[in-house]
Structure 1
Amino acid sequence: MRAPIGFRISNRRKSLKISQAGLARLIGISPSYLNLIENNKRDIGGALLNRVAAHLDIDIDELTGQSEQKLLQDLEEAFADPMVESLPFQPDERRELVAQYPASAAALARLHRAYGNAVSNADAYADRLRSDPLLSQLLHRIVSGVTAIRSSAEILEDVPDLDDAERQRFLSAIGRETRALSDVARNLIGQFDTSSQIRRSVSPVREIDDLIIERDNHFPTLEHAAEELRAEIEGHGAFGVATLTALLDKRFGVTVVVGGPPDEEDFPGQYRFESAGRRMWFHGATTLATRQFQLARLFGELAAPDAIAEALQSAVLSTPTARRLASRAIGSYLAGAMVFPYEQVLEDAEGCAYDIDHLRQVYHASYEQVAHRLVTLRRPGQQGIPFGFLRSDPAGRLTKHFPLPGLLLPNSGHACPLWAIYGAFRTPDVSTRQVVRFSDGSRYLFLARTVQRRTASFREQVVASSVMLACDVLHADRTIYATGLDLNDLSADVPVGPSCRLCTRRDCASRQEETLSPSGDSSRTRAPLLPAAFALGDPG
């Protein structure tokens, strides 16, 4: 759902007491065209949006309403939940709720997330009961103990002529079994408590998403640390694998080894830092881009632990898994900021119209590394194009993503099968572009390409991934990938949805799941040829 950018421009202009004609003259357009923009009848983006923001002295994020877009995305997911999707929601109900009652909208989104966590916890407990041998054994002992107690109690109750010795023997058995049963019950509760702590956050990725969106995917502390570390490295030679290798050895006693076996037999990864032996090992098949990035990451984590800790200090990370993933993400961010210095890469990106193939040659980096860095160019006053990032495996499962507020992304599983991220697999190593339009009218430029790691032998299978950058079509004219496209021709857009489950397009021929209709109407997808109320042999 697109935020009302035009209305925000109008309100800001009026609050500054600037006339419509005056603002139009300042930004270089006609007053009539500005009037269309302010009434949300024309899109605005790219250089024009930057000029408007500059003359109104307002951040682009405030005009585009990124925080509202994230809230709209959360409500979209909540309203599509099978528990409530049949309710007769109005088409603009979510948008109006966010606009008029943002706190209530946030409360609904949080309650839905808590509900999802509770359901997942219940599923986790059910899975443990079915599959955990320890829990199965404990439950079996409880049943056996209850059976033994019941048997002894029935004998005491039904056999009146027991002598005192026999009665005392059964009473002792009941006491013994009761104490044992109590111990087993405490163990069982302990197992569930441990399981609950482990699974208290059912989606560490959601917590990482919240951290990234909260910081607008930009960490000034890490950027500053990266500048200092880059300067230190370049003080010993040109930035690259050779200088990083020498400096890691000199400052931290780390030896870099390329090829040969890792310290752990059958280790499946392409690189590994063996902390005990201070040894950074790389698979012989790794590319120079991978070695440069991972050596920069290791140097950053060893040289700037305080900067990493500060970046994570206020983050809400409730599980060890979430903390591990967040620490890895922050370490990779720091490495990216070292390999691609902010001001330099922003200037180069703007100069080449965000040509990723050109940038990867300039920085001796991979396609995916460049795409990652472009997502983080969000420094206030020095912003690049706001991009979202996705990566998919060949099965279509999303394996990594950096959210873009406003673009509704599924939190797990698969996205819309029509997205370029899947079409890229049909043309390996060739960039695929498309302009898509969602059912709410929002439009995006999608750019995707396959990537794959280098294999070490004939026996290894080549497993490709697809990475995709996404930006609002308002910014598309700033990229080389808009060349030759008529961005005003809506008929050329590809109609898409976020995923089949969340998509409202009932006439999509590529639908793989039943539609969730707000009106409660039955879906015609995979419907029987004969109506359910009519059977063969019924009288006419």
Structure 2
Amino acid sequence: MAVQKHYAGAKLREIRVRANLTQRAFSERLGVSLPYLNQMENDNRPVSATVILALAREFEFDVNQLQGSDEARHLSDLKEALKDPVFGDAPISAAELKLAVANAPNLMRSLIHLHGTYRQTHDRLAALDQALGLEETRLSLSPWEEVRDFFHYRDNYIDAIDHAAEEFTTDAPDLMSAIDAALQQHGISTALEDLDGLRAYDTDRRTLTLSSRSHPATRRFQTLLQIALVAHHDLLEATLDLARFRTPEARDIARIGLANYFAGAAMMPYRAFLQAARETRHDLERLADRFEASIEQIAHRLSTLQRPGAKGVPFFFVRVDQAGTITKRHSATQLHFARFGGACPLWNVHRAFETPGRFLRQLAETPDGTRYLSIARDVSKSGGAFTAPIRRYAIALGCELRHAPDVVYSDGLDLGNSAAFEPIGISCRICERTQCHQRAVPPLEHKLDVDPNQRGVLPYRIALPRQTRL
């Protein structure tokens, strides 16, 4: 019976490698020339009947494996996987898929396995989202999360915007002179009114109206934000083009984020601010006085000092509301924040609401053994009128312990005493600490042991996770 022609270069290479043979030795065992074997392994020639028989005789190879059933199945699985929106919209031809299956079988199997793992993880997270009461689940990030990740993966530092903001005051004697010159250059007039919000810009009249209730530092920041949107429109749009956001909503959110970034960087120019931060050992109050900014603006700016060749101390910065919900988060450290649920209740940022106007210091250690110096303070903001609501927030700024001597808030703390470090986590749902007295819910994916006859710190015991081989 005639044997069907079949291209199986990858299978031949797999057999040869498994037998630990060179191409020359393999060709001799098969009874073919070295060039002929090379052509077969590169799918330039089909596997001949003579070679198939030699494979069966010399290597006890099951010739049914060359009949295409595995290849067809893998090709189908690969096509199905690549239809997932997570791989984007780039078209992949049938010829490319066949080449991948034929010439890179291990890579193909790894890709299919990776996608299967992704789908399982996504389905489990979808179930978790439903359990947490979220309204919907999506394969892609929400616009807000996408923008957050955009800043996160750049260490919260946007080089082109930062340099443009620094150059904004280069030829002016001070910041207000630079602001006045920019407003005049672009024909923007300003007015103060009793607004409920912070800023309103009339594009037709080119009039910027600011709230008379807000603090002067806030009005200055909002003016710079509007200048960024008008005077640096092209730079913002070019940065957004490079980011390639998936949705118009994400692009719009990021545009405001970039304008906010420009405003903060213009109020606190990089090199001058970095030098002042080092001179004051990152004293937030002295920096706020020097740059006429709020404590929150100073703390936020400190978390952005990651310019290549001139980096500052890598800080994390977070803002929470009274419910413990994180409303701002940036981290140039190993500490990152959970997407779901509140922050660890043992973190000093939650106690800041109890001590308005004071800095709280904390030495903390995360489950991975990393130690941090953290400072927290409330930054509640009056609405400027008796009937206006007060916006209550607290912020935390922190760095890894190795940078603590460069920060004034470490003075007087016993940095070498292990007992001085409080064991904190990120969120109860992903924290592996088994004896935390403040645990609100069990950790995900950990088995629980409930004994009605015993009661420890928790009403259950948490099984330690097994080490997984990768």
TM-score band w.r.t. shorter chain? 0.5 to 0.7
**Which SS does the other structure have where 1:256 is aligned?**
strand
Taking the aligned partners of 1:491 and 1:520, their CA distance within structure 2 comes to 29
Amino acid at match of 1:258: L
Query: Structure 1 stretches of 5 or more lacking a match?
Result: 1-102, 129-195, 262-267, 529-540
- Aligned counterpart, 1:238: 174
Paired residue for 2:89?
Answer: none
Name the structure with the higher helix share. 1
Q: Is the 8 A contact 1:201 1:319 kept in 2?
A: no
Residue 506 in structure 1 maps to residue 442 in structure 2? no
1:483-511 deviation line (CA, Å, top 9, x unaligned): 00111111011111111111222221112
The CA distance in 2 between the partners of 1:373 and 1:126, in whole Å, is: 33
Aligned ranges 1:138-287 → 2 under 5 Å: 201-232=140-171, 234=172, 238-240=174-176, 244=179, 246-261=180-195, 268-287=196-215
- State the match for 1:167 in structure 2: none
Asked if 1:309 is matched to 2:209, the reply is: no
TM-score normalised by length of structure 2: 0.66
Secondary structure of 2:334's counterpart equals: coil
Equivalent in 427, 442, 455 of residue 370 of structure 2: 442
Residue of structure 2 equivalent to 1:482: 410
Q: Residue 313 of structure 1 aligns to a residue in which SS?
A: helix
Equivalent residue, structure 1, for 2:223: 295
Q: Cα deviations across residues 188-228 of structure 1 (Å, max 9, x unaligned)?
A: xxxxxxxx9xx664433332233223322222211221133
Question: What CA distance in whole angstroms lies between the structure 2 residues aligned with 1:105 and 1:346?
Answer: 47
Task: Name the Cα RMSD after superposition.
Answer: 3.2
Aligned twin of 2:262: 334
Distance 2:348 2:116 in 1: 32
Match of 2:328 among 400, 419, 433: 400
| Matched AA of 1:441 | G
1:24-39 → structure 2 map (5 Å cutoff): none
SS in 1 for 2:242: coil
Partners of 2:341 and 2:427 within 8 A in 1: no
SS of alignment partner, residue 507 of structure 1: coil
Query: 2 CA distance for matches of 1:333 and 1:344?
Result: 16
1-side partners of 2:320 and 2:448: how far apart? 32
| Residue 358 (structure 1) aligned to one of 274, 280, 286 | 286
| Partner of residue 297, structure 2 | 369
SS in structure 2 opposite 1:401? strand
The 2-side partners of 1:515 and 1:124 are apart by: 14
How many residue pairs were aligned?
347
Aligned counterparts of 1:298 and 1:206: Cα–Cα separation in 2: 24
Please state whether the residue corresponding to 1:501 is helix, strand or coil.
helix
Q: Identity rate of aligned residues, in percent? A: 32
Return 5+ residue gaps in structure 2 as ranges. Answer: 1-110, 461-470
- TM-score when normalising by structure 1: 0.58
After superposing the two structures, state which structure 1 stretch, 109-118 or 443-452, moved more: 109-118
Q: Distance between the aligned counterparts of 1:105 and 1:392, measured in 2?
A: 39
- Is the contact made by 1:120 and 1:202 (CA closer than 8 Å) also made in structure 2? no
Cα 1:250–1:482 shift into 2, 3 Å = same
Deviation of the 1:521 alpha carbon: 3.6
Tell me if structure 1 keeps the 8 A contact 2:378–2:395. yes
Assess if the C-alpha contact under 8 Å between 2:359 and 2:377 holds in 1: yes
Alignment check: 8 A CA contact 2:155 2:306 kept: yes
Over 3 Å counting, the alpha-carbon distance change for 1:110 and 1:424 in structure 2 is farther
2:189 partner letter:
T
Q: Residue 378 of structure 2 contacts residue 393 of structure 2 at CA under 8 Å; is this kept in 1?
A: yes
Matches within 5 A, 1:424-435: 424-435=352-363
Contact residue 420 and residue 434 of structure 1 kept, 8 A: yes
Quote the Cα distance in structure 2 between the aligned partners of 1:292 and 1:306. 22
Could you say what secondary structure the match of 1:302 adopts?
Answer: helix
Pair 1:104–1:407, CA change in 2 (3 A): farther
Which residue in the other structure is 2:309 paired with? 381
